[in-house]
Amino acid sequence: MFFEPKHKRLALSSSPGQLNKAYKKSERVLKKVARCGDEQELAAVMERHRDIEYALLFQKTPNFNKRKKKYDKETN
């Protein structure tokens, strides 16, 4: 399975605009942490960055629209 459940949940619960904003912010944080050299913090920031990126990619798949309709029905 390419997309993990956490990527799918994030994609379903966020708008593309929210994810794009979060992605750009995580990129800035990633660069800042990389300059510090703290590998443990870098790994944590990179994981968050990757989760956001995968959520954005999942939103572009045909499967997303099917799940989004089901998710919207469940949350309303």
What is the structure's pLDDT at 76?
66
What is the structure's pLDDT at 16?
94
DSSP at 61: S
What span, in angstroms and rounded, lies between the C-alpha atoms of 27 and 10? Answer: 17
Global pTM value:
0.84
Assign 3-class secondary structure to the chain.
Answer: CCCCHHHHHHHHHCCHHHHHHHHHHHHHHHHHHHHHCCHHHHHHHHHHHHHHHHHHHHCCCHHHHHHHHHHHHHHC
Tens digits of pLDDT across the chain (76 residues): 789 999 999 999 999 999 999 999 999 999 999 999 889 999 999 999 999 999 999 999 988 887 777 777 777 6
